[in-house]
A and B are shown apart, each in its own frame.
Chain A
Amino acid sequence: MNENELEEGTGGSGDATQDGAVAPVGETAPQAASEAPRLQPEFTGRAGEYFRIWIVNLVLSLLTLGIYSAWATVRNRRYFYGNTDLAGQRFDFHGSPVAILKGRLIGAALFLVYVFGAQFHWAVPLVAVVVISASFPWMLVQALRFRLANTSHRGLRFGFQGTAAAAYRAFGPLLLVSVAVLVFYFWTVGQVDVEDPENVQMNTMMILGASALVFLVSVLLMPVLWYRIRSFTMNHVSYGRHLFSAELRQGVFWGALGAAFGLGVAATMVVFLVMIAVVAVVMFGTGAVSDPDSMNPNTLLITIGLAYLLFIPAYLLPFSVWHCMTTNHVISVTRLENLGFRLRLGMMKYWWIMVSNAAVAVISLGMAIPWAKVRMERYRISCLEVTGDPNVFLAGTRRDPTATAEELGEAFDLDFGF
């Protein structure tokens, strides 16, 4: 063990006498953290091993018409948690399949109502968007509570201490603005009669204007909304009786947006040039330039189709930039008592893994998905660094334990991809 590297003389008090109170354990000053031991978390999962788990559970889920999928989810998660090593100890997932099944049934019911409702009335998708946005803070809290309360490390449970009310206070108004913008957009488009020959120009302008406005507002809302959401979630995660803290800076989110936007535009332009070049080469090569009629229309179609594939990596680039820059920041300013964290995802590396994973998954008809997931997880965990001593945390809940238990009884996993 590297605990003897610990040399601390400053800050903090050993005066932890109030029993049951939040322990001021390891209240180290930040400068001491630089001398704290560095821990390199590691993902020990192996593609072959995970492939067997994935495929067996997949087929079992299909054979049971989806019922087993909740148990399959638990095994998948246990595999990933149980292979994530921090300071020689693995994480654990304790979620009950029944809770997951409950959440899944609710999700499936809502999905069916939405799909069929949309056939019968045009307003159903709009109402659904409003309802989903309105309940998003509540769903987020539910999901985090379930997920974290069922995660443990070194025998201590994580937890989520945020309430739905606090979530609504933190980012409810912003959500309201987003929804209002969306409703405005649908309303405008609904008002315009596209076929009306007298006002074609006017109407096109209106729709374009509304679209541009909606796009602009949603893009400008994104950094603020994301900053608020991640601030709220990171500052309410608990481990044993200790609370994580993270002082996020909104500027980083704006920077990430700018970088993602700039690189996205640049990548799209490059792809366009490549596309034009490829089409030109094909047209010259087949002699279609001098004699357009000799051109087989299929040749052109196939060429354009292949060139279009290049857009996929170009689209993934801004996503990767945004994800890496914001996540690196969020994790790197997070602290847990004496523990400090540093995440260094490389956005080009991350992008390359996403692109190649997708390509290999498609070429293998999905059979390489387990390999792709393990590969990505290994990379992500390898970019994380933890400093401090993980041995000094205490169990206990920050709230009335009976209340927590009750909530857990009602809790269900809301894991349907938001």
Chain B
Amino acid sequence: MRGHWTAPGASLTRPASLRSEGGEWVVGVDPDPLEDAPHGADVEAGHSQAARAGDAGNEARAAADDVRVSSRLASIPRRLEFPGGGCFSTLDNDAVDQLLGRRGESGEASLVDRLERRWAWALVAVAALPVCLWLLFTVGLPIVAHPLANAIPERAVDTLDDAVLTLLEEQLLEPTELSLDQMLQAEAQVDRLGLNDRVDLVFHGGGDIGANALALPGGTVVFTDELVELLETDDELAAVLAHEAGHVAEKHSLRNLVQSVGAVAVLGWIFGDLSFVTDLALVSVPAVLQQLSYTRRFEREADAYAHRLLEEHGIPAACLSTALSKLVEQARGPVSELPSILQTHPGLEERIAASGDGPACGE
């Protein structure tokens, strides 16, 4: 087969051919047409020194088994490295494979090469890509997120609660203006649901977020004044509390963090190194959508947790629906007009339906 021979120790590369002789591979270097041509002292010195350094005769031979052959990749040249350091390179990949014949190609590289060579496999891969991503995002990352979220020590999580709460107090929340009775009424629900050792209820004026409840990873639950005033009844307060306790028990904020970071990392690795435009369109936007789908899933989980907890304590699961309806009613604004894929929470109808056919709230 035709190719080029690079003598050991120098960049001097000449056209050559390789043939198999018994168990040996022999490289024959073409005669140099420049041998007799007059040329400059520098080049001559360079050539001759290169030739000397490489000890390049017109022939090199080695036992076939001693020659290291690079693995095949698309149509790039194959490198046949001879024991002395010389190297024969050729574009004739098929001839090299034929020559290798009995020796065959080694392991994983040749398998991958066979996959890469066929359009059929490429199309399979194209179809497999969204499936892989979907599985990774909906099954893989959530599985990984669980133990990771659990591995974060409780003390660290409590510190996190303090930091987040301080930040919220500075930027968003206002001091509470609830009466002592109102606070006691809400506090009583913590007792009623048996959440004393898991939930730490605090009250704040809602400011811009209005009637709302927040659960921080360490178990701090914030009720806004507006929420307590809006809900009035014990059962509804207990229902919202149960929902937030679900977020805490299931470690949703930590899992959300792990999963969202994972999604960004995976998408960034696949699509991220072209320019910031592709970063934005193919990494950031899908990652945000993915994160929203996680939060919707967490809301459903927290709802289900609340339904169980409420029923355990003889409170109709429907109370959560009633409370949610009130919240949605007063919060109706541009956000609720967004398509469901852009929502942080599942739709109200879906959440009400999920509460089942139990007794109505207040009965």
Task: Report which A residues bind B (CB closer than 8 A).
Answer: 1, 3-4, 6-9, 11-16, 23, 25-28, 49-53, 55-60, 62-63, 65-66, 69, 71, 75, 78-79, 81-83, 88-90, 92, 108, 111-112, 115-116, 119-122, 153-156, 195, 240, 312, 315-316, 338, 354, 357-359, 361-362, 365-367, 369, 372-373, 389-396, 417
Contact = CB atoms under 8 A, between A and B. Distances in A.
A103 B118 CA distance: 32
Given A155-B6, A392-B42, 17 more contacts: A3-B43, A4-B34, A13-B42, A14-B41, A49-B74, A53-B73, A58-B270, A75-B73, A155-B87, A316-B275, A358-B278, A362-B281, A373-B274, A391-B12, A391-B46, A391-B47, A394-B10
Given A14-B44, A90-B77, A115-B261, A120 B163 contact: yes
B39 A369 contact: no
Q: Give the 4 A-B residue pairs with the shortest CB-CB distance, closest first.
A: A82-B76, A392-B46, A8-B40, A14-B45
B74 A392 contact: no
29 contacts: A4-B34, A13-B42, A15-B45, A16-B45, A16-B46, A49-B75, A52-B118, A53-B73, A53-B74, A59-B128, A62-B132, A71-B108, A75-B73, A79-B74, A83-B74, A120-B159, A240-B11, A315-B276, A362-B281, A369-B274, A391-B12, A391-B47, A392-B12, A392-B50, A393-B10, A393-B46, A394-B10, A394-B11, A417-B272
Contact of A92 (B79, B140, B160): B79
Contact of A52 (B12, B122, B276, B281): B122
Given A62-B129, A392-B12, A52 B116 contact: yes
A339 to B, nearest CB: 11
A39 to B, nearest CB: 13
Contacts of B47: 391-392
A55 B115 CA distance: 10
Contacts of A367: 126
Given A83-B76, A89-B4, A154-B6, A58 B46 contact: no
B252 to A, nearest CB: 14
Interface in B1-17: 4, 6-13
Contact of A154 (B13, B41, B133, B269): B13
Contacts of A79: 73-74, 76
Interface SS majority for chain B: helix
Interface string B234-274: 00000000000000000000000100010001100111111
Contacts of B89: 89-90
Most buried by A among B37, B108, B121, B282: B282
B125 interface: yes
B49 interface: yes
A155 B163 CA distance: 59
Contacts of B77: 82, 90
A155 B46 contact: no
A69 B281 CA distance: 23
B42 A358 contact: no
B40 to A, nearest CB: 3
A111 B119 CA distance: 36
A230 to B, nearest CB: 21
Interface in B275-294: 275-278, 281-282
A6 B121 contact: no
Given A26-B46, A120-B160, A358 B275 contact: yes
Given A6-B43, A14-B45, A372 B274 contact: yes
Contacts of B87: 155
